[in-house]
């Protein structure tokens, strides 16, 4: 399946750059410097029109404040993370919650459920970061991309399918902190995307789930497993 003018670049772990058909850059869970899988040429990445954060863990928002300062792009996240970033000098934030949609022209960004935690590590210790979420991004060309964030599989992924018909699903498969391939394969059954792109694996030793295991479990499924290398684009 083609993204019909959109380009999705994986930066390793859970970080993606989504270039929309209209030329906007949506950066999902930016963790660049410090991310062992992020190619060095992206460390200085400086294009963003919107920055989306699924939750407050460092491996998802590690580069968010820097990228927001560099680009002036609004950070879209749950209310608690937006409020926290406000205390860190990031003033352009959109604090929202699950079920909400924000629209920018023909782009729609909907926050959806995730089954995970969201504490923010600070110098003063761990602080409350609201609840973890996923996002469904609907592009100008009508394609919808579901970023599950960090999550276990949950039955209401069937609601996400019914409501948003995701064409592409970005699913964590590493296990330990999230789904492993077994749960992710079940998630694909609930979501029925045309394409699934595995993420959140191999970064740390504990994240042992492999794309090959997911492929094996989905043999015969109508969903294509698209495995990207860090820095590689899906179009």
Where do contacts with Mn ion occur on this chain (CB under 5 A)? 59, 150
| Distance of closest approach, residue 177 Cβ to Ni ion, in angstroms | 6
DSSP of 1-45, one letter per residue?
A: ---TT-EEEE-STT-EEEE-TTS-EEEES---TT-TTS-GGGTT-
User: Of 150, 167, 230, 234, which lies in the binding site for Ni ion, with binding defined by CB under 5 A?
Assistant: 150
Per the structure block, which two tokens stand in for 21?
């058909």
Burial level of 152, CB count in 10 A (0-12/13-18/19+)?
middle
The residue (of 24 and 55) whose beta carbon lies closer to Ni ion is 55
Min separation Cβ 60 and Mn ion, Å: 6
Q: How far is the CB of 55 from Mn ion (least distance, A)?
A: 8
Residue 13, binding choice from Ni ion, Mn ion, none, Cβ under 5 to 8 Å by partner class: none
State in angstroms the smallest separation of the CB of 59 from Mn ion.
4
Please report how many Cα atoms fall inside a 13 Å half-sphere around the Cα of residue 188, on the Cβ side.
28
Q: Report the b/e string of 203-215 with b at 16+ CB within 10 A.
A: beeebebbbebbb
Site string for Ni ion, 45-64 (x = CB under 5 A): ------------x-------
Closer CB to Ni ion, 49 or 131, in the complex? 131
**Is there binding between residue 115 and Ni ion (CB under 5 A)?**
no
Q: Which residue, chain included where needed, has tokens 């039955």?
A: 155
Work out what residue 167 binds among Ni ion, Mn ion, none; the CB cut-off runs from 5 to 8 Å by kind.
none
- Between residues 1 and 126, which has the closer beta carbon with respect to Ni ion? 126
What is the distance between the alpha carbons of residues 184 and 157, in angstroms, rounded to a whole number? 11
Binding site for Ni ion (CB under 5 A): 57, 150
């Amino acid at each position: 399946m083609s993204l019909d003018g959109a380009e999705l670049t994986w930066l390793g772990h859970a970080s993606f750059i989504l270039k929309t058909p209209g030329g906007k850059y949506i950066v999902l869970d930016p963790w660049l410097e410090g991310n062992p899988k992020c190619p060095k040429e992206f460390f200085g990445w400086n294009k963003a029109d919107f920055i989306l954060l699924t939750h407050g863990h460092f491996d998802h928002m590690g580069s968010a404040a820097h990228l927001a300062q560099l680009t002036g792009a609004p950070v879209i996240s749950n209310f608690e993370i937006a409020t926290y970033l406000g205390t860190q000098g990031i003033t352009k934030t959109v604090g929202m919650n699950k079920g909400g949609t924000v629209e920018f022209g023909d782009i729609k960004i909907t926050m959806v459920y995730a089954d995970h935690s969201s504490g923010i590590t600070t110098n003063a210790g761990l602080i409350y970061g609201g609840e973890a979420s996923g996002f469904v991004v609907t592009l100008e060309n009508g394609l919808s991309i579901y970023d599950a964030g960090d999550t276990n599989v949950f039955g209401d992924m069937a609601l996400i399918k019914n409501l948003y018909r995701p064409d592409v699903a970005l699913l964590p498969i590493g296990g330990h902190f999230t789904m492993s391939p077994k749960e992710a394969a079940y998630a694909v059954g609930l979501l029925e995307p045309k394409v699934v792109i595995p993420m959140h694996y191999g970064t740390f030793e504990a994240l042992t789930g492999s794309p090959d295991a997911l492929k094996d479990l989905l043999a015969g499924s109508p969903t294509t497993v698209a495995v990207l290398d860090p820095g590689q684009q899906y179009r």
